[in-house]
Structure 1
Amino acid sequence: MATTSSSSSVAGVKLSEVHVFDKMQWMMERAHNVFKLGHESILKHLEEPDKLQQDLPNFLGYCGCWAGDILVHHDTEEMVLFPFFSPRLDMSGEVDQHKVMHDHLDGILAYVNDPTTPLTFDADTLRQKMTAIRDPLFHHLDSELEHIRRENMERNFSPQEIEDILHKLDTYAQAHANPWTELPFFISHVAPPYRGNFPELPWIVSNVMLPIFALRHSGRWKYSPYSAFNAAG
């Protein structure tokens, strides 16, 4: 679904440079694209099951990061964002969509985290699970962007309220994220021209801490479309 906000066309800029009423959609669109790219990457690699057999722990770990990051993203929305929206913007549809997707994601996580899966792995089984979640997931990601378009933000919230909730989201994410998995996964799925601009990371995080975080599970990130070690590369 195409969005109606001008935020979709703003490329190569930082969140701080985006109009305040476009910021929520701009940020969410970048985050949602991470999950779409991860889904596409998993399906692409499932087309070569013989190669995966040689590296199943890393591939299954990568799949687990994808599903786990979506759950964390949804938890953040339900704990911080939706309570902020709900008095003036009905988010009940998004909550219902989360429940549907979480059933799929729980099934995927149960499969990839099962200690017997590396011994009995079947690419078709995982492909079926990934295919089943695609339509509800992508529909949710796109419809949520439509819901938080500029017109709705401007009609219901003040610029300061938007800035405040974005700050709360960032603070909550930093406090609850697993830097060893979530940050490298996220960074390695941010596509040009946004690499280096989203998310906005302090120099020490981007250039010193990120490579350290990415190293622990470095074998997983070969399945990512972009580097997990360099936020701009």
Structure 2
Amino acid sequence: MANHTAALLATVDADKATLDRARPLPAHTVASLREKLMLEWTYHSNAIEGNTLTLRETKVVLEGITVGGKSLREHFEATNHRDAILYVEAIVAKHEALTEWQVRNLHALVLKSIDADQAGRYRQENVVIAGASTMPPDFMHLPAEMAGLMHWYDDAGATHPIERAAELHTRFVKIHPFVDGNGRTGRLLLNFELLKMGYPPAIIRKEDRLAYYDALDTACVSGDFSEITSLVAVSVQRSLDLYLEVLGLRK
């Protein structure tokens, strides 16, 4: 691991320890922080994929109001993503181990009412990813590839949680098991792993889209996960900073 990445992880862990020492946190503060991060996670994850709802419009849609001039699909992408986050939180709360079944359930939520035929179903055709240097595996190999991902995950417990989350995300995106919705599902998996280990979510911002794609591409081509791990660590740090500032714990 690069020295820069190791330093980032050490800073994140020091701040997480500060936050952990303050637990239990005030209930209303936690609820408002969760709502803010859920909104930002939904907005940015969808915006990375081309959804044109603004942050404020996303908030309104999540409150059940229709925004004029925006497609039905964009509305569903917002509410579906929120429902998928709730599912991630439920898995974490029940201490359930990650399985392929849950991955498919997550994807089914992401594409609910958008593409019923493909929701939760591994692709039955081959695809290419625009701008990527690697080719996703042949659809015939997807069952073996996904089984391999779960096998890797079961053995990855010794690595730092942020490294493990970044690598899980990258390996999933490289397999690209679904026709659509892989990015959103991959970022939900990333944060499943972080939330499970007591970290706040990593919100990869729309503005960081290019750096994010470059880091993913580097990892997929070379097997070097330091860039994507650093990007995830910086994203976690932003969420931690928010917690520490609101709670008055920022030194």
Flag whether TM exceeds 0.5 (same fold). no
What TM-score do the two structures reach when normalised by structure 2? 0.27
Larger RCO, structures 1/2 (Cα 8 Å, 6+ apart): 1
More helix, by proportion? 1
